[in-house]
Structure 1
Amino acid sequence: MTIEKHERSTKDLVKAAVSGWLGTALEFMDFQLYSLGAALVFHEIFFPESSTAMALILAMGTYGAGYVARIVGAFIFGKMGDRIGRKKVLFITITMMGICTTLIGVLPTYAQIGVFAPILLVTLRIIQGLGAGAEISGAGTMLAEYAPKGKRGIISSFVAMGTNCGTLSATAIWAFMFFILSKEELLAWGWRIPFLASVVVMVFAIWLRMNLKESPVFEKVNDSNQPTAKPAPAGSMFQSKSFWLATGLRFGQAGNSGLIQTFLAGYLVQTLLFNKAIPTDALMISSILGFMTIPFLGWLSDKIGRRIPYIIMNTSAIVLAWPMLSIIVDKSYAPSTIMVALIVIHNCAVL
């Protein structure tokens, strides 16, 4: 059977799905490595002269800088993806993220170069954020354009599973480091290992992206034999009701991610003085469960539409937020109960 110019074989679809999954996994592994590092160790490495509370706030501020950069990166690379293609942009963004994450692992500490250490940290974080801003949206667009009709939900869920896999990998790495190293070893050199190890995933992901075919939809739209529509002005999207609705929905999910995976992890350890294994183990278990819940919801959205599953999960997050968070921050509960609460709210509100 011959394949038309703008059609893709099953092999191409598999390669695109793996590329989308792996790239998003690298993005979220990079971000989760940093977020847990910021919450658990960076305040002592890069802000040692501040009080414990202020050092944690400053460390979390460097984490937040990456999110601001993501907004800019999403706009820049989103426009670029429409102009030069999805494949080239996804190659650029994954390279940016991977290099910056690796460089964080070789940064001098505050004790070595003083205030320049956190400045360099923030700089790398911003560049990393620029690339990350386009990764999940770009990979999602690529897979949606690759997927056959009626299977876009389950195919696009590979991107969401990538976020889950990245979170799991980063959390598992930190949990392993906390288990095998003493606090002194971790602060002296152990904190570098998770960032340096990410280079292995980066190299494979870059190789995969280099061998990926362009989106068939992009090729079809830009075919020289097809009439080219005049692109809409950049400002026109701000006049769209759909744009603001989608932004609001994504804003809520991203906010939950930062609150649960980063702030609560640091709060449990630094303020409530729980063992570091409690938040890392809970997030790791939750991410494993996500390998079942994410593809199921993707499959369900192909059967009954995207709207109903989205409403169900968001309603669940709203209803469960207060009781679950009340348990998490209450030291009177057993650590196992706190872990269960963290797992439940993480699966409903983030994954």
Structure 2
Amino acid sequence: MSNKQACSIADQNFNTPDGKKAFKKAIFSCWLGTALEYADFALYGLAAATIFSEVFFPEQTPVIALLLSFVTYGIGFIARPIGALFFGYLGDKYGRKNIMMITIALMGISTTLIGFIPSYAVIGIWAPLCLVILRFMQGLGAGAELSGGTIMLGEYAPSKRRGLVSSVIALGSNSGTLLASFVWLLVVQIDDESFKEWGWRIPFIGSFFIVLFALYLRIFIKESPVFEKQKEEMLKIRAQNVKELEEDTRTFWQKSKAFWIMVGLRIGENGPSYLAQGFIVGYVTKILLLDKSVATTAVLSASLFGFLIIPLAGYLSDKFGRKITYRTFCFLLMLYAFPAFMLLDSRDEIVVILTIIVGMSLASLGIFGVQAAWGVEMFGVKNRYTKMAFAKELGSILSGGSAPMIASFLLAYYGTWIPIAIYFVVTAGIGFVTTFFAPETRGRDLNLIKDAI
């Protein structure tokens, strides 16, 4: 099979009536699955920042309770690499579709059950323990869900529009954050006693219905054309009893370069992202003592802007390349950190809302819109799901999952936001530096076996 033929598999599939129909189903299904994942995680982040400290850690001081809330938040990120390895391996071996059905079910059930956990006042230490267990299960599914949807879209997309199409995954994350913020904004209007007793549970329990709809949709999507071609090639090799005799003479760095680059890129995106939409929400609510609706309104507004920013970022990566677009976002995040905390300390509600919107627009939205296609193109078809999922989730646990917890610790220890701003710059800087080692992969043949180096 020639390089031209290989590159055109997704394009040829897209140009047929059945292919276009399957493509649209895949887009909607992947969007909804990612929306559910990020709704779950955004709900948990909002709850951890605003109510979990009171429900599950009522005997602690406000700062320590906030820290413990974000510790449970980080548990999900510990589970994500495990889920990425396990489900990623199965996804490379048996296909993307079936694994994506399993992961979304696992996430949805775990999120729903969180809404049924009794408070610390009712069952004592068992309350936070149940929270940790369900958060871990939620993370197992989420560890493979995001990468599975990204790969499915990337392998369906026409090569010249892969950045734009793959950014739909980021639109899914944005939609989930928007949904979570909107629902949370509604429930925080309830009086404090009712909110603490039962109001916060409504969004978690209600996510069950989204899971059912997402599972229904995924039953009818087809496997990606790139995976189908790979499976067809492997069946031919086995039928002919042919063994791959070519010796791999690459160095360890060459073999693992794409993996570590993806880890670095993920740190540059995920750390600032969860600081912007996780820790800062808690900082504004619990430390600056602004009304709960201020931070929630900011997250909601940023999510609305995301429907413009995300596809624009994907389009720019198609037009100018993945490297320069990603590098620009990382650089802007480095410039953002110190002014952001200065503005937050003004306690001016409008200024605080705008500051959070800018941070999320750069980290949670724009940079994420570029990362989707770049990650798919970075890896060869044979182990794409396993390597990409594990690299992204390892980067997440080193940055996103731990970022709110580390920031809370720095605040408790130093009593000032300056170390947190430095930490923000460092995580964004890791992504910035990584782009200088990364290959430009725009339009790469997704049927190639080896990773891009």
Q: TM-score range by the shorter chain?
A: over 0.9
Match of 1:193 among 202, 214, 218: 202
Provide Cα deviations, 1:91-130, integer angstroms capped at 9, x if missing partner: 1110000000011111111111111111111000001001
Q: Distance in 2 between matches of 1:28 and 1:95?
A: 14
User: In structure 1, the residue corresponding to 2:223 is in which secondary structure?
Assistant: coil
User: In structure 2, the residue corresponding to 1:106 is in which secondary structure?
Assistant: coil
Residue pairs, 1:109-120, within 5 angstroms: 109-120=119-130
User: In structure 2, the residue corresponding to 1:50 is in which secondary structure?
Assistant: coil
Amino acid aligned to 1:285 = S
Task: Provide the residue aligned with 2:90 in structure 1.
Answer: 80
**1:164 to partner: Cα distance:** 0.5
Unaligned runs of 5+ residues in structure 1 are none
Q: Distance in 2 between matches of 1:335 and 1:206?
A: 40
Task: Provide the residue aligned with 2:185 in structure 1.
Answer: 175
Provide Cα deviations, 1:205-258, integer angstroms capped at 9, x if missing partner: 11111111111111111116533686x99xx79952221111111012111222
Match of 1:258 among 267, 274, 299: 274
Task: Provide the residue aligned with 2:294 in structure 1.
Answer: 278
Q: Distance in 1 between matches of 2:37 and 2:81?
A: 15
Verify: 1:350 aligned to 2:364, yes or no: yes
Match of 1:214 among 218, 223, 229: 223
Q: Percent identity?
A: 45
Task: Provide the residue aligned with 1:246 in structure 2.
Answer: 262
Indicate conservation of the 8 Å contact 1:97/1:129, yes or no. Answer: yes
Provide Cα deviations, 1:58-102, integer angstroms capped at 9, x if missing partner: 111100000111121112211111011101111111000000001
Provide Cα deviations, 1:34-67, integer angstroms capped at 9, x if missing partner: 1110110011111112222221111111000001
Amino acid aligned to 2:280 = L
Provide Cα deviations, 1:130-154, integer angstroms capped at 9, x if missing partner: 1101111111001000111211111
Task: Provide the residue aligned with 1:69 in structure 2.
Answer: 79
Task: Provide the residue aligned with 1:311 in structure 2.
Answer: 327
Verify: 1:7 aligned to 2:13, yes or no: yes
User: In structure 2, the residue corresponding to 1:14 is in which secondary structure?
Assistant: helix
Task: Provide the residue aligned with 1:341 in structure 2.
Answer: 355
Amino acid aligned to 2:212 = V
**1:326 to partner: Cα distance:** 2.2
Residue pairs, 1:279-294, within 5 angstroms: 279-294=295-310
Compared with structure 1, are the counterparts of its residues 50 and 304 closer, same or farther at alpha carbon in structure 2 (3 Å cutoff)?
Answer: same
Which piece of structure 1 moves more, 310-319 or 116-125? Answer: 310-319
Verify: 1:157 aligned to 2:151, yes or no: no
Indicate conservation of the 8 Å contact 1:220/1:226, yes or no. Answer: no
Q: Distance in 1 between matches of 2:20 and 2:214?
A: 20
Q: Distance in 2 between matches of 1:333 and 1:275?
A: 11
Indicate conservation of the 8 Å contact 2:35/2:174, yes or no. Answer: yes
Runs (4+) off by over 6 Å: none
Match of 1:56 among 66, 82, 85: 66
Q: Distance in 2 between matches of 1:262 and 1:297?
A: 22
Match of 2:236 among 207, 226, 229: 226
Amino acid aligned to 2:94 = I
Q: Distance in 2 between matches of 1:94 and 1:113?
A: 29
TM-score (norm: length of structure 2): 0.72
Q: Distance in 2 between matches of 1:281 and 1:227?
A: 56
Q: Distance in 1 between matches of 2:282 and 2:60?
A: 16
Task: Provide the residue aligned with 2:407 in structure 1.
Answer: none
Task: Provide the residue aligned with 1:205 in structure 2.
Answer: 214
TM-score (norm: length of structure 1): 0.93
Compared with structure 1, are the counterparts of its residues 83 and 61 closer, same or farther at alpha carbon in structure 2 (3 Å cutoff)?
Answer: same
Task: Provide the residue aligned with 1:100 in structure 2.
Answer: 110
Number of aligned residue pairs:
343
Indicate conservation of the 8 Å contact 1:19/1:205, yes or no. Answer: yes
Which piece of structure 1 moves more, 119-128 or 338-347? Answer: 338-347
Q: Distance in 1 between matches of 2:43 and 2:211?
A: 14
Task: Provide the residue aligned with 2:422 in structure 1.
Answer: none
Q: Distance in 1 between matches of 2:312 and 2:280?
A: 27
Amino acid aligned to 1:274 = L
Amino acid aligned to 2:210 = V
Compared with structure 1, are the counterparts of its residues 149 and 239 closer, same or farther at alpha carbon in structure 2 (3 Å cutoff)?
Answer: closer
Compared with structure 1, are the counterparts of its residues 29 and 226 closer, same or farther at alpha carbon in structure 2 (3 Å cutoff)?
Answer: same
